[in-house]
A and B are shown apart, each in its own frame.
Chain A
């Protein structure tokens, strides 16, 4: 059970600062110190990072619940990166986190980071908010490596929602810290953590999108009545609400299980369901909004562009494949147990 005080606090803080204008301008400025400071001042980015490593402690479930709130507000800050991802990598290698924002190298196939003579070379792609982070944490050659963004050359790039996803090129750059990655900390584990963080953000965005759609279709009138009273439009609203509720629940269960073990099946399932919802629910919400939803003057795009972006981050098509392969491996006799018991069934992703 999540202490609702944490999520209420997060909601209050973000409601005050992550306004429409603030989210909009963060896209142009590529950073929003106001939004970051508001959540950092109450310790939200470091939930789930042990106190001994400079974090504020707490469970993965609590960190995930805060990410759901951040997703609701389309908060353009590296909240997931600082805690659940970079904070996790650093603290599990015995390193401490710093006070400012941290980010992580997601680890794409076209990255070529390598360590030569104790220095870092190569390029990392799609690094979230690289230019604004105090530190970048990467997995390189079986090591948790911490570098300063200023040690590399940053090529700016963004996801569809205008959130920075930069490339960083290092040439024999100095390393702040380098520790062998402990057991269970590898590129695949990072991918699962990343998927959980994106599913959580998506759950929040889907919930907010549902509320926006309910509100808009209640106010917008055509043919003399609110468009939400037409059964065809109702079906769109309900589609959105159902997918949002399903993903939210899946994320809750995945986070609960992640506090107990690897939870690979649950995390893959939550991300897979979120990706599907990003397709189906976002289509429904846009359809219900008509032309209004296609403008940058209205809030919907803050959510829908994020959903489309986050869908592709930390794997998309890979999740149905991995669950499918694992189900084949598990076999017909035990297939139902995967559905009923998840990872405890022995389904191995």
Chain B
């Protein structure tokens, strides 16, 4: 059976929220007041994160008793969409808000929820994700980093790599081996690791555009207290794969180059030739369609369904499209891209060219996603 999506649309309440966020963005994210970026990991602004927390726009779908908003995935989509399309700096809270918070809420102990969720909802905590290793990328179940049981907790040894935000993160949710099973998927566990623990070394890895987005993280007998085991010992693979499917089809998977197209239209406007107008038309329509996919997936999650295949489709369609947009724009404008240009459109185009290959890699390569989708079609 082919995979289908059910059409949905914003409710009146959701539209009211959208208006509220738009008004906020107009007053807090004015043109020229910051250097906008493309996507979810542009730069961090602690002030913006705290302000979003004050407004109740972080941890939106988390329970109110832990500081969350008890709101829906669709409402979170509405908020994130408006921020991302303006290139806001969300790096400080991004991972915690999208991924770590929901995972702690789902698998964490009562004590962990009381400890971590309120500051996540306030925008105070930066999390990173410890999954990939030098020899484990798409084959995630082959991780070698190991936690060994000791008195009062565990000691962690090994190396994580290509970890976004490791240099600024307060905590990492780390996937590691705790058992001896021959089955690669068994014997894995997750921990909430304090990045300031003794024995944690963060070695920055320069990203293609020159930023310090990536790092290698080395664990040299790092002690993790017993109470920071996340979920069940040995259940890490299941927890981790459910984490990966969380909102895989969110706006960050299709909206990244939007600002670039907006600037393109502003700069070149009515002088666009028919070819450029057709490109613009195709892009706008496809964006509209992919956004409908994203909205449909969010609604399914809110209805208690587990649309992992639909999410994977959303991410594959969305990220491929993002790259098509960047390539298409590059073909339409006759300029040599430069990160130091005095024109924002040129700077962003240059950055897009450099970072866009990551869009179909991060969070699970599209090749791996297609394997998931293929299985769902059987």
Asked if B3 lies at the interface with its beta carbon under 8 angstroms from chain A, I say: yes
Minimum CB–CB distance from B81 to chain A (whole Å) comes to 7
Asked if B291 lies at the interface with its beta carbon under 8 angstroms from chain A, I say: yes
Asked if B11 lies at the interface with its beta carbon under 8 angstroms from chain A, I say: no
A contact residues around B357 at 8 Å (CB): none
Verify A338–B281 contact, CB threshold 8 A.
no
Asked if A77 lies at the interface with its beta carbon under 8 angstroms from chain B, I say: no
Asked if A16 lies at the interface with its beta carbon under 8 angstroms from chain B, I say: no
Task: From the candidates A250, A268, A319, name the one contacting B292 in the complex (CB within 8 A).
Answer: A250
B interface SS class: helix
A contact residues around B270 at 8 Å (CB): 328
Known A321-B281, A325-B277, A327-B265: A273·B289 in contact at CB below 8 Å: yes
A contact residues around B292 at 8 Å (CB): 249-250, 253
A contact residues around B290 at 8 Å (CB): 246
Asked if B48 lies at the interface with its beta carbon under 8 angstroms from chain A, I say: no
Chain A: residues with Cβ within 8 Å of the partner, total of: 50
Verify B371–A324 contact, CB threshold 8 A.
no
Give the contact stretch, choosing among B99-107, B149-157, B256-264.
Answer: B256-264
Asked if A155 lies at the interface with its beta carbon under 8 angstroms from chain B, I say: no
Verify B281–A272 contact, CB threshold 8 A.
yes
Q: Which chain B residue shows the least CB distance to A249?
A: B5
Known A210-B2, A238-B374: A246·B293 in contact at CB below 8 Å: yes
Minimum CB–CB distance from A270 to chain B (whole Å) comes to 8
Asked if B1 lies at the interface with its beta carbon under 8 angstroms from chain A, I say: yes
Minimum CB–CB distance from B38 to chain A (whole Å) comes to 14
Known A210-B2, A214-B378, A238-B374: A339·B278 in contact at CB below 8 Å: no
Asked if A138 lies at the interface with its beta carbon under 8 angstroms from chain B, I say: no
A contact residues around B210 at 8 Å (CB): none
Task: From the candidates A244, A268, A328, name the one contacting B277 in the complex (CB within 8 A).
Answer: A328
Verify A324–B3 contact, CB threshold 8 A.
no
Task: From the candidates B2, B265, B276, B287, name the one contacting A241 in the complex (CB within 8 A).
Answer: B2
A contact residues around B279 at 8 Å (CB): 320, 324
Known A248-B5, A250-B289, A332-B269: A319·B281 in contact at CB below 8 Å: yes
The 4 closest A-B pairs by CB, nearest first: A324-B281, A324-B277, A323-B281, A269-B285
Pick 18 A–B contacts, CB within 8 A, sort by A: A231-B367, A234-B374, A238-B374, A241-B373, A245-B2, A245-B4, A245-B310, A246-B289, A249-B7, A249-B293, A250-B292, A266-B288, A268-B285, A269-B285, A320-B279, A323-B281, A324-B278, A324-B281
Residues of B within 8 A of A (CB): 1-7, 9, 18, 81, 85, 258, 261-263, 265-266, 269-270, 272, 274, 276-282, 284-293, 296, 310, 313, 316-317, 367, 370-371, 373-374, 377-378
